[in-house]
Structure 1
Amino acid sequence: MVTSIIRRLIQALFVIVAMTIIVFIGVNVIGNPVDILINPDANQAERALVIAHYGLDQPLWKQYLLFLQGLLHGDFGNSFVYGRPALGLILERLPATLELAITALVIALLFGLPLGLYAGLYPNRISSKLIMSGSILGFSLPTFWVGLMLIMVFSVELGWLPTNGRGPTRELLGAQWSFLTGDGIRHLLLPAFNLALFKTSLILRLTRAGVQEVLPQDYVKFARAKGLRERRIISVHVLKNLMIPVVTIIGLEFGSLIAFSVVTESIFAWPGMGKLIIDSINLLDRPVIVAYLMMMVLLFVVLNFIIDICYTLLDPRVRLEGKA
C-alpha cells in the first residue's frame, strides 16, 4: 500500500507540473492586459513603464520560470486590478465558496443516497418511479433558471428567505462563516439548494444503479439464505459495495462544486471565488486567474489522491492488485 501511495504521489506531481505549463500558456494567449490597465491616451513611454513593471516585456519562457519560482514560494504575483497578492485575494473568498460547496454536498447526500437506495430496493413502486422522474428534472433544468425561480418563490412571493448576499458571519479558525449565525443560514439555504440540485439527481441515480447491480450478486443471496436481517444485508453488503463509485462521484463533484459554482454565486450575489474569477477574466487580471486555476488543479489532484486511498479502505481487491 505504501508503494502504491508513493507511485500516486509521483503521478500527481507530474500532473501538477504539466498543468502549470498548460495554465500559464493558456492564460497568456487570451489577451493583453495592458490594453485594459493603461489609459488609451498614454504615450509609448508610459506604456513601456507599465509593461516593464509587470514583467510583461520578458520572454514567455522567462516569465514561466519566474512563475514557477514564485509558485514554489506560494507567490502568484500581485493582482493587476487590486494591487494585492493574488493568492491572498483567492483565500479571502475561499471560505464563502467552501461553505457553499460543503452545504450543497451535504444536501445532495442527505437526499440522494436514501432516495436512490429506496428506488433501487423497490423499483416497481409508484413512489420510486416518481423519484426517478424527479431526478430527470434535476438533470434537465438549467441552474440559472432554477435559481431565479427559487428567488421568485421563496424570497419575492413568500418572503421566507433573503435574495442575495451572505448575511452576518462569525469567525472560526481564522475565517468568517455564515453557518454560525441564524440569519447566515437563511442566506445560505437558497444558493446551496440551487447548487445541490444537479448533484442530488446524480447521486440518486448512481445509488439506484449500484443497488440494482449489487442485489443479484451471490453474496447477497447467501446472506439472505443465512437468515440475516434485511437491515444488516443492506447496511453491510449492499451499501459497502455500491459506495466505491459513489465515493468517486462525491470526490469529483465536490471539486466541481468549488470550481464551477460561478453561476450560483452570480445569481445570489454570493461573495465567493466564482464572482472574483469572472471579474478577473473580464479585466484580464492574469495573476488572479492563474492563482485560481492552479488552486483548482491542486484541489482535484488532492481529491483524486484521497479517492484512491478510500478505494483501498473500501475494497480489499485494490490492495491485492497493488501488491501484485
Structure 2
Amino acid sequence: MFTFFVKRLFQALIVMFVISLVAFSIQDNLGDPLRELVGQSVSEAERNALRDEMGLNDPFLVKYGRFISNAIEGDLGTSYFYKRPVVDVILDKLVATLELVVAASIIIILVSIPLGVYSAIHPNSILTKVIMGVSIVGISVPVFLTAIMLMYVFAIELNWLPSYGRGDTANWFGWDSGFFTLDGLAHLVLPAISLSSIMLPLFIRLVRSEMLEALGTEYVKFARAKGLPEKKVQYQHALKNTMLPVVTVGGVQIGTMVAYTILTETVFQWPGTGFLFLEAINRVDTPLITAYVIFVGLLFVVTNTLVDLLYGLINPTVNLTGKGA
C-alpha cells in the first residue's frame, strides 16, 4: 500500500505539472487583463509601463518559472478584480459549490441504488422499462436545459421553490451552510436536482448492469444452492460486490460534478466556484482562471488516488502495485 501511495504521489506531481503548464499557457489567449483594470482612457505608454510592472511582457518561461516558484509556496497569484489572493477567493466560494455537490451526490445515492437494484432483480417488469426509458432521456438532455425546465415549472409556474440564489445559511461546527436552514434547503432543491441529473441516469444503469452480472456469478448460485433466503442472496452477497465498481466510478465523477457546476450555478445564480470561473473569464482575470483550472485538476487527481486506495481497502484481493504474487 505504501509503495502504491508513493507511486501515485509521483504520478500526481507529474499530472499537476502538466495541468499547470496548460492552464498557464492559455493566459495569453484569453484577452487583455488591462482592459478591465484600467479601462480605455489610459494611454498606450501607460499600459506598457503597467505591463512591465506586472511582468506581463516577460518571456513565457520567465513568467511560468515565477508562477511555479510562487505556487510551491502556496501563492497562485492575486486576482485582478478582487485584489486578493486567488486561493482565498476560490476557498470562499468553494463552500457553496461543495454544498451543491454533496446535495446532488445524496440524491444520486438515494435514487440510483434502489432503482438500479430493482431493475436488476425485476428485469422484465413495466417499472423497469419505465426506469430504463427515463434514464435514456436523462442522459440525452443537457443539464442547463434540465435546470431551465425545473425553474420554469417549480419556481415560475407553481411558485413552490425559489429560482435563484443560495438562501439563508447557518454556521454549525465551523461550516456555514444552507443545509441548516429551511430557506437554504429550499434554494438548494432545484440546483441539486439539476446537477444530479448529469450522473443519475449513468449510475442507475451502472448499478443495474453490475447487479445483473453479480446475480449470475457462481458464488451467488452456490449461496442459493445452500438454501439461503433470496433477499439475503441479493442484498448481502450480490449487492456488496456490485458496489465496488460503483464506488470507483462515483469517486471519479465527483470531480466531474464540480466541473459541471459551471452550468448549474450560472442558471440558478449560485455563488460557487463555477459561477466565479465564468465571471473571471468575462473580466479576463487570468490569475483566477489559472488557479481554478489547477484546482479542478487537483480535485480530479486527489479523488482518483483516494478511490484507488479505498478500492484496495474494500477489496483486499486487488493488487494495487500491479505486481504478481
- TM band (smaller chain): over 0.9
Q: Please tell me whether residue 56 in structure 1 is matched to residue 79 in structure 2.
A: no
Q: Any conservation in 2 of the 1:147–1:191 contact (CA below 8 Å)?
A: yes
SS at match of 2:176: strand
State the alpha-carbon separation in 2 of the partners of residues 67 and 203 from structure 1: 40
Task: Quote the residue 2:222 is aligned against.
Answer: 222
Alpha-carbon distance, 1:176 to partner = 2.1
Runs of 5+ consecutive residues of structure 1 not aligned to the other structure:
none
Percent identity over paired residues? 42
State the alpha-carbon separation in 1 of the partners of residues 238 and 32 from structure 2: 55
State the alpha-carbon separation in 1 of the partners of residues 36 and 165 from structure 2: 29
Alpha-carbon distance, 1:155 to partner = 1.4
Task: Quote the residue 1:299 is aligned against.
Answer: 299
Task: Quote the residue 1:231 is aligned against.
Answer: 231
1:71-98 deviation line (CA, Å, top 9, x unaligned): 1121111111221111111111000000
SS at match of 2:317: helix
State the alpha-carbon separation in 2 of the partners of residues 45 and 157 from structure 1: 56
1:255-288 deviation line (CA, Å, top 9, x unaligned): 1111221111111111111111001112211110
State the alpha-carbon separation in 2 of the partners of residues 175 and 158 from structure 1: 32
1:293 to 1:131, Cα distance in 2 relative to 1, 3 A: same
What is the one-letter code of the residue matched to 1:267? V
Q: Any conservation in 1 of the 2:215–2:234 contact (CA below 8 Å)?
A: no
State the alpha-carbon separation in 2 of the partners of residues 173 and 58 from structure 1: 46
1:114 to 1:83, Cα distance in 2 relative to 1, 3 A: same
State the alpha-carbon separation in 2 of the partners of residues 172 and 60 from structure 1: 46
Cα RMSD (Å) of the superposition? 1.6
Task: Quote the residue 1:118 is aligned against.
Answer: 118
What is the one-letter code of the residue matched to 1:302? V
Q: Please tell me whether residue 15 in structure 1 is matched to residue 15 in structure 2.
A: yes
What is the one-letter code of the residue matched to 2:239? L
Task: Quote the residue 1:67 is aligned against.
Answer: 67
State the alpha-carbon separation in 2 of the partners of residues 179 and 129 from structure 1: 35
Task: Quote the residue 1:198 is aligned against.
Answer: 198
Task: Quote the residue 1:143 is aligned against.
Answer: 143
Is the deviation greater in 188-197 or in 9-18? 9-18
State the alpha-carbon separation in 1 of the partners of residues 211 and 205 from structure 2: 10
State the alpha-carbon separation in 2 of the partners of residues 123 and 258 from structure 1: 33
Q: Any conservation in 1 of the 2:4–2:321 contact (CA below 8 Å)?
A: no
State the alpha-carbon separation in 2 of the partners of residues 265 and 72 from structure 1: 31
State the alpha-carbon separation in 1 of the partners of residues 189 and 167 from structure 2: 11
Q: Please tell me whether residue 309 in structure 1 is matched to residue 309 in structure 2.
A: yes
Q: Any conservation in 1 of the 2:170–2:178 contact (CA below 8 Å)?
A: yes
What is the one-letter code of the residue matched to 1:115? L
Alpha-carbon distance, 1:163 to partner = 1.0
Runs of 5+ consecutive residues of structure 2 not aligned to the other structure:
none
Aligned length, in residue pairs: 324
Task: Quote the residue 2:98 is aligned against.
Answer: 98
What is the one-letter code of the residue matched to 2:303? L
SS at match of 1:166: coil
Q: Please tell me whether residue 282 in structure 1 is matched to residue 282 in structure 2.
A: yes
Q: Any conservation in 2 of the 1:102–1:254 contact (CA below 8 Å)?
A: no
Q: Please tell me whether residue 134 in structure 1 is matched to residue 134 in structure 2.
A: yes
Q: Please tell me whether residue 242 in structure 1 is matched to residue 242 in structure 2.
A: yes
Task: Quote the residue 1:154 is aligned against.
Answer: 154
Q: TM-score, normalised by structure 2?
A: 0.95
Alpha-carbon distance, 1:30 to partner = 3.1
Q: Any conservation in 2 of the 1:240–1:314 contact (CA below 8 Å)?
A: no
